[in-house]
Structure 1
């Protein structure tokens, strides 16, 4: 899961306008909120990935990860229910016309939640700092 969060966060660094447009495509947030979220989401994903990679506070970091993934699923479900054709913006902002397979993306996020739950309840403790 550390790799997932790190790769997602790194892909968002330096492409602020693309991330803002991706967030605005969900039609949930105002342009000001979309801009703010675009500025903070990449660094926050990197920070979360580093906590998981280094084994620092594994359980709290895992619960935050599950919360964020749940919010992503809610946003995707909302866009899908309204018939929007969007790019999820998960690992790179791709402003193509074909959009994302939303159901597959939500399924992938559910799988990530399952992996994170396994990590929370069966953490590898040898190198973890305060799991």
Structure 2
């Protein structure tokens, strides 16, 4: 044990776990807020990106395009401020699983499309995006398992 860990009564393992929990919570908050901000005011572009997946009707794609940015920002803010941490991380996990399923479907059907993750219109390397999103899934699972409660408004 180091002097700091002896003084606080916390082991090095506990401190390391807290660091990972801190990164999981605040990194996912940043990701959701950044993704949402990139979509706000870009309803037509986001709608076209969603429609390119060939899963939803154009009308429903437009509705999703109007909702997804603000919802991503809201989810990110819940994580950032620490409101219902486990539940917020669980919603993050669920949304990521849906995104991965959509990307997998597009890849399986040979679609060369933008994932629309951060508002870009360039074609996406879908396997790389899926791997990245699996990393986000891991962070969300960690935040469910061991949420970082410090600086939380309502953990």
Question: TM-score normalized by structure 1?
Answer: 0.94
The answer for the alignment partner of 1:37 in structure 2 is 64
1:76 to 95, 103, 110: 103
1:63 to 68, 90, 109: 90
| Superposition deviation, residue 44 in structure 1 | 0.1
Distance 2:149 2:71 in 1: 24
| Residue segments in structure 2 that go unaligned for 5+ positions in a row | 1-27
Residue 103 of structure 1 pairs with residue 127 of structure 2: yes
| Residue segments in structure 1 that go unaligned for 5+ positions in a row | none
Distance 1:6 1:126 in 2: 20
Residue 116 of structure 1 pairs with residue 140 of structure 2: yes
Aligned length: 128
- Cα deviation per residue 1:63-88 (whole Å; 9 max; x = unaligned)? 00000000000000000000000000
- Cα deviation per residue 1:5-25 (whole Å; 9 max; x = unaligned)? 000000001111100100010
Contact persistence 1:5–1:49 (CA under 8 A): yes
* Mapping for residues 9-20 of structure 1, pairs under 5 Å: 9-20=36-47
Q: CA RMSD in A?
A: 0.9
Moved more, 73-82 or 121-130: 121-130
| Superposition deviation, residue 130 in structure 1 | 3.5
Residue 49 of structure 1 pairs with residue 76 of structure 2: yes
- Cα deviation per residue 1:46-79 (whole Å; 9 max; x = unaligned)? 0000000000000000000000000000000000
Contact persistence 1:19–1:93 (CA under 8 A): no
